[in-house]
Amino acid sequence: MSKTPEVLISEVGPRDGLQSVKATMPTADKLRWIDALVAAGLREIEVGSFVPAKLLPQMADVVDVVCHALRHDGLTVMALVPNRRGAEAALAAGVHKITLPVSASEAHSLANVRRTREQMVDELREVNALRRDTAPGVAMEVGLSTAFGCTLQGTVDEDDVIRLAVACVEAGVDEVGLSDTTGMANPAQVRRLFRRLRAEIGERAGAAHMHNTRGLGLANCLAAFDADVRTFDASLGGLGGCPYAPGASGNVVTEDLVFMFEAMGVPTGIDLSQLIAARQPLQAGLPGEPVYGMTPEAGLPKGWNPA
């Protein structure tokens, strides 16, 4: 792993994955899993969500998990916060980066956070003020969910997506990414929308968060890469989805995504064998939960040596 990474793989499994399954992973397994991910070379992990434990008991230990993750030098410790209250707790815990869910689809926004898009942008302003006053070094990003289509409302207008991204930046957000929450994106759309996003908000254009619902996860990541995206969300073993978007399933599998980039000669900074080994604590902590991934199943190709 001597080459300088050209892409950042942001592991979302400990948040997006774990909050989508019914079982709660014991804290000790979460910590082992995060350690294994760091050992494999992951440099950014979304370790949890600051939401009330009665809503998401899987995240009740988020402060402990953050605390532990912060011991890893060089790791960006990220957490999801749905609102100002969550942001307060996350900033107090010492995270490096907070991410807020803003839906491009009004129907999904109401279902997911029980607020309109406009109300969420107001919330962003409040969170930004809080951050400015209490933790100015912390980064703040938004993933625009249902940016490529919504299982509730159907088509999502591309102009709406871009307008909302601009509103997020005006509210103080550092980076705005686009999420295919519902697995409806296609490569032509991904290229078009990320190019528009970059044209509008420049370097504040953020991560591609793709799903593999209809098998297009990696093709859509490739399309995003072509459109100069360099940060990609993925989930080890493909764990996760969105419980509020019916039919949505299947985050892009980190193992397969890393295989694609490394095979292309695009360094990720991640050791694929160690990444596959990081499935062990995940499976130990969630016995019986299905994990996915074609590369772990097929094994690495003969003579695999991307560096």
CB closer to its own copies, 10 vs 151 = 151
CB atoms within 10 A of CB 303: 5
CA distance 249 to 240: 7
Binding of its own copies at residue 260 (CB under 8 A)? yes
DSSP 96: S
Of 4, 74, 137, 188, the residue at the interface with its own copies (CB under 8 A) is 188
CA distance 46 to 40: 16
Binding of its own copies at residue 151 (CB under 8 A)? yes
Q: Is 292 in contact with 253 (CB distance < 8 Å)?
A: yes
Q: How far is the CB of 265 from its own copies (least distance, A)?
A: 6
- For residue 177, CA distances in Å to 93, 101, 132, 182, 284 come to 24, 10, 21, 15, 32
Binding of its own copies at residue 249 (CB under 8 A)? yes
CB closer to its own copies, 75 vs 221 = 221
Choices 25-33, 34-42, 139-147, 257-265; region in contact with its own copies by CB under 8 A: 257-265
Side-chain-side CA neighbours of 130 within 13 Å: the count stands at 19
Choices 12-20, 31-39, 207-215, 273-281; region in contact with its own copies by CB under 8 A: 207-215
Of 8, 263, 277, 284, the residue at the interface with its own copies (CB under 8 A) is 263
Task: Look up residue 170 and give its two tokens.
Answer: 């005006």
Catalytic residues: 242
CB closer to its own copies, 26 vs 301 = 301
Q: Is 46 in contact with 80 (CB distance < 8 Å)?
A: yes
CB atoms within 10 A of CB 102: 28
Binding of its own copies at residue 256 (CB under 8 A)? yes
Binding of its own copies at residue 27 (CB under 8 A)? no
Of 74, 136, 202, 303, the residue at the interface with its own copies (CB under 8 A) is 303
Task: Look up residue 208 and give its two tokens.
Answer: 């591609």
Q: How far is the CB of 303 from its own copies (least distance, A)?
A: 4
CA distance 190 to 187: 5
Choices 75-83, 92-100, 119-127, 180-188; region in contact with its own copies by CB under 8 A: 180-188
Of 223, 239, 276, 282, the residue at the interface with its own copies (CB under 8 A) is 223
H-run or E-run covering 193:
helix 187-201
SS3 category, 45 = strand
What is the end-to-end Cα distance of the chain in Å, rounded? Answer: 6
Q: How far is the CB of 244 from its own copies (least distance, A)?
A: 15
Of 213, 251, 254, 268, the residue at the interface with its own copies (CB under 8 A) is 213
Q: Is 136 in contact with 167 (CB distance < 8 Å)?
A: no
The residue ranges that bind its own copies (CB under 8 A) are 149-152, 154-155, 182-184, 186-189, 212-216, 218-219, 221-223, 247, 249-250, 253, 256, 259-260, 263-266, 293-295, 298-299, 301-303
